[in-house]
Amino acid sequence: MTRSPRQWLLVFATLGFAASLMSSYVHYRLLTDVSYTSVCDVNTTISCAQAYLSRYGSLWGVPVALGGLMYFAMVLVIAGLAGRSTSKARENAPGYVFALSTLALAFVLYLGWASYFVLKTFCILCAITYVAVIAIFLISGGATTFPMKTLPGRARRDVRTLVSSPLALLIAVLFVAGAAMAVAVFPGDAAASGATAAAQTAAPLPAVTDDDRAKIAQWWEVQPKSEVPVPADGAKVLIVKFNDYQCPACKLTFDTYKQILPKYIASGQVKYVVKHYPLEPECNPYVPGGNHYASCEAAAAVIMAKPKGTADKLEDWIFSHIGPPPLTGEQVKEAARTVGGITDFDAQYGRAKEEIKTDAGIGQLLSVPSTPTFFVNGRKLTQVLPAQYFEVLIQLELQRTK
C-alpha cells in the first residue's frame, strides 16, 4: 500500500471510529439514563435516539454502533501495521481492508435504507459512519493491485507472519479482548430499559434541592401553553399524555411516573388522561411516515379493555413486551384475548380506531411533535424528565391554583 492511500484510510477510519464511539456513548446513555437527550436529537426526523432505539439499532442484542467501532478499529490496525510491515504485507493490506469494507458497505446500505425509508429518520452520527465506510471501500478498492481470489492464500501467509511477531500478536489479542469486553458490558436494549425502570421504581427518588426547584420553576414559567380540549372535572391539575405503545420513552415514563402519580390522582387534585397518538398511519393520518407497526392494535386493545377493567393489566403487558424485537399485531391480539379478556377484537377494531383517530386529531391540533408529549395544565412538555422533576411541575401547578 502506497503512502497516500494509507494516509486517507487512516483519516476516514479515524473519522468513522470517532463517530462510532460517540454513537456507542449515546446509545449507552439512552439505555441507562431516562433523562438523557442527545445533542443530535433535533426533532422526530433528525434523531439519533429514533435510530438507536429502533429494531435496527441492535443486531442479536449488540448495538450496531459497537460493530462500527470494531470495524473502524480493524481498519486502523491494518493500515497502521502496513506502515511497519514487509513490502508483501503492505501490498496485501488494502485487499484485507477492501474485503472488510465490502461487507461493511452492504451493512450500511441496509441500515441507510432502514433509516431513511423505513424509520424516516436522519441520524447525523450514522451518516458520518456511512460516509467513512464508503470512502474506505473506494480507497482500498483502488489501492488493491492483485486479484481478490488470491486473498485467502495471502492471508494464510500473513497470519503465519503475524503469529511470529510479538507486537502484532499482542495487538490482535488486545483487539479481540477489547471487543469481547465491550459487548459484555454494554446493556442490551430490553434488559437495560427494564432494569432502569425497575431500579427507578424500586429506589427512593433523589431529593430535589431548593436551587433545582427554583430553576425548574423559572424554566416551566416560559413553556408554551395551549387550550387542551379535555375536561378537568374539578381537578386543580390536568395532565394529558399523548402516548404510543411502541415508543421506548413512553414505556419509561409509564414505569417511572407510577411512583408519583397515584397519590395525586387519589387525592382528586390531579386528573391524568392518556390520549392515543400511535406513530402508525393506519389509525393516525398525521404521521404518514410512521413505522411503529402494531401500535394501532395496542392502543385499540387498551380501549377495548377499559370496560372490562383490564386496561391497566394490558398496558403493563404491552409495555413489558415492547422489544426488541417489536410486537406484532397478532401478538397484541393474542394478549388482548388472554390478558385483557377481549374475545371479539376484530369486531371492535373499527370503532376503537375511530377513537384513536379522534385522539390523534387533538394531538395534531395541539402540535404534538413526538411521543410522549405531556400537557400539564396546558403547558407542553416534550422532554422525558426524571420522576422527581415531573413531580415538581405538579406541585408548581398546585401552588398556582391555590
Q: Where are the alpha helices (DSSP H) in 35-150?
A: 48-52, 64-82, 87-113, 124-143
**Homologous superfamily (CATH) for 194-400:** Glutaredoxin (3.40.30.10)
Percentage of the chain beyond pLDDT 90 is 45
Whether residue 34 has pLDDT greater than 50: no
pLDDT of residue 393: 95
For 154-168, 219-233, 318-332, which range has the lowest pLDDT when averaged over its residues? 154-168
- Residue 245: phi and psi, rounded to 5, are -75, 0
Tell me the C-alpha to C-alpha distance, in Å, between residue 274 and each of 93, 230, 271, 373.
58, 11, 10, 10
Q: How many CB atoms lie within 10 A of CB 246?
A: 29
pLDDT top residue among 401 and 194: 401
Digit-coded pLDDT (tens) for 116-174:
887 777 888 899 999 999 999 999 888 888 888 888 887 787 677 666 666 655 666 66
- Give the C-alpha separation, 357 to 366, whole Å: 14
For 69-83, 106-120, 180-194, 234-248, which range has the lowest pLDDT when averaged over its residues? 180-194
pLDDT of residue 35: 52
Cα dihedral 371, 374, 375, 376, rounded to 10, equals 180
159-182: string of b/e by CB count within 10 Å (b at 16+)?
eeebeeeeebeeebeeeeeebeee
Domain ranges of the chain: 3-187, 194-400
Q: How many CB atoms lie within 10 A of CB 384?
A: 21
Q: How many CB atoms lie within 10 A of CB 211?
A: 8
- The continuous run of DSSP H or E covering 23 comes out as helix 3-32
pLDDT of residue 202: 44
Please work out, in degrees rounded to the nearest 5, the angle formed at the alpha carbon of residue 126 by the alpha carbons of 123 and 130. 130
Digit-coded pLDDT (tens) for 296-305:
999 999 999 9
Could you identify the residue written with the cell 380506531? 353
Whether residue 33 has pLDDT greater than 70: no
pLDDT of residue 313: 94
pLDDT of residue 201: 43
Cis peptide before 307 (omega within 30 of 0): no
pLDDT of residue 85: 57
State the pLDDT confidence band at 58, using cuts at 50, 70 and 90. confident
Whether residue 63 has pLDDT greater than 70: yes
- Give the C-alpha separation, 391 to 387, whole Å: 6
pLDDT of residue 195: 40
User: CATH topology of 3-187 equal to that of 194-400?
Assistant: no
**Which triple of cell numbers denotes residue 161?**
507472519
The DSSP result for 277-313, as a single string, is --S-TTT-TT-TT---TTHHHHHHHHHHHGGGT-HHH
pLDDT of residue 192: 42
Whether residue 203 has pLDDT greater than 70: no
Digit-coded pLDDT (tens) for 267-295:
999 999 999 999 999 999 998 777 788 99
Rounded to an integer, the average pLDDT of 340-358 is 96
Indicate the CATH number of 3-187 among 3.40.50.150, 1.20.1440.130, 1.10.10.10, 3.40.50.1220: 1.20.1440.130
What is the distance, to the nearest Å, from the Cα of residue 210 to the centroid of all Cα atoms in its chain? 33
Whether residue 37 has pLDDT greater than 80: no
Percentage of the chain beyond pLDDT 70 is 80
pLDDT of residue 121: 78
- Give the C-alpha separation, 24 to 51, whole Å: 12
pLDDT of residue 198: 42
The whole-model pTM stands at 0.56
pLDDT of residue 16: 92
